[in-house]
Amino acid sequence: MNQHTRLDPIPFVDLAAQRRRLGKSIDEAVGRVTEHCLFINGPEVTRLEAELAAYCGARHVVTCASGTDALLMVLMAKDVGPGDAVLCPSFTFCATAEAAALVGATPVLVDVDEGTFNIDAASLARGIATARKAGLKPKAVIPVDLFGQPADFDAILSVAAAEGLFVLDDAAQSFGASYKGRRLGTFGLATATSFFPAKPLGCYGDGGAIFTDDAALADKLRSIRVHGHGSEKYDNVRLGLTARLDTIQAAVLIEKLKIFDDEIAARNRVAQRYASGLGNVVTVPRVADDRTSIWAVYTVRVPGGRRDALAEALKSQGVPTMIYYPKSVHQQTAYSHFPVADGGLPVSERLSKDVIALPMHPYLDEATQDRIIKAVRDALAD
């Protein structure tokens, strides 16, 4: 291997590699849509919803325009609004809390578990008390299944039931993962996911879906998805959105769903090799025994203020990294005025300083994995 090859940049997520495997069938599927011209609510949308329901075991699937819309639509359907508190982990992508703020509710930010990066049930209970003290009515909790691993649903559902909250699972990063043998999409009142292109099940633009066993909620979501329509076409019975999934995106997702399990297995193989190659130099992520991960992101921890130097060293070796998330939600400008659970959010703040994500996708070959592992080890040996 010559010097030039050694330093070729490595893609962080390699959608081009997936296209080499699936491009022809996706292009043909898109071609069928451009032939039948049913660009909105075409047959592929109905078929995708049925296939997603069969995949995860949810009774109803309502596809929509993004993961953010998926969260927002459920909160709208449940009439969450001003005076209501929505409990969210702070160590997540902002969209989780944003959906609550967009309906006029107050996101109350709670801490996460150091081992799994997911919502900490004890902090959740403290956050509910904080919300009540502030005169808010706690209505919902949005646990996030961060980086591909499900949250601890037994603990969350028990706090939510005791406190009268509904659970809206944010599985934007984790659709396909399971908790105690059950796939995400079936926990709590509803589950939201995202089909953003870099997600493990991503389309060729923006997209999302909501999963629920509640038929009345599913009907309401279908109404909200199209301006709050009623049974007559121009009788709009509630406020809604333009939040449909395009037929072309549904066609792309139908093709990708066919190989999704195979890609999840490949991601798990990469994660295992990273763990054995790096476990003694960084803190590698841990999947709880009762869960599976789809490894949307492979995040390690590098404590002691060495994270940014590692990122620089890897960059010089052509190894891209990402920091998810350099600031927790409560540390960001648009969210810093929202309440946090009593006792503060020390774990979220620590993680934001320590975490760094390595390239992760199903087409990362062993030679490239070894190059990444060596680059990390060399950088930390200095």
Closest approach of ligand PLP to the CB of residue 99, in Å? 8
**x-marked contacts with ligand PLP along 146-185 as a string, rule CB under 6 A:** ------------------------x-xx------------
Number of shown-chain residues binding ligand PLP (CB under 6 A):
15
77 binds ligand PLP (CB under 6 A): no
Stretch that binds ligand PLP, among 65-73, 101-109, 177-185, 368-376 (CB under 6 A): 65-73
Among 196, 204, 295, 325, binds ligand PLP (CB under 6 A): 196
3-state secondary structure of 248: helix
Q: Residue 152 is encoded by which pair of tokens?
A: 């601890």
The answer to whether the CB of 253 falls within 8 A of the CB of 205 is: no
Other beta carbons less than 10 A from residue 235's beta carbon: 9
Q: Which of residues 87-116 bind ligand PLP (CB under 6 A)?
A: 92-93, 95-96
**CB-nearer residue toward ligand PLP: 116 or 369:** 116
191 binds ligand PLP (CB under 6 A): no
Buried b (16+ CB within 10 A) or exposed e, 70-95: bbbbbbbbbebeeebbbbbbbbbbbb
**Residue whose pair of structure tokens reads 């004890």 in the numeric block:** 122
Q: Which range in 48-56, 60-68, 243-251, 367-375 contacts ligand PLP by CB under 6 A?
A: 60-68
Residues within window 202-231 making contact with ligand PLP, judged by CB under 6 A? 206, 208
* Pair 187, 169: CB distance under 8 Å: yes
194 binds ligand PLP (CB under 6 A): yes
Instruction: Report which DSSP code applies to 275.
Output: H
Among 151, 157, 149, CA closest to 89: 151
- DSSP, collapsed to helix, strand or coil, labels residue 123 as helix
Residues that bind ligand PLP (CB under 6 A): 66-68, 92-93, 95-96, 144, 170, 172-173, 194, 196, 206, 208
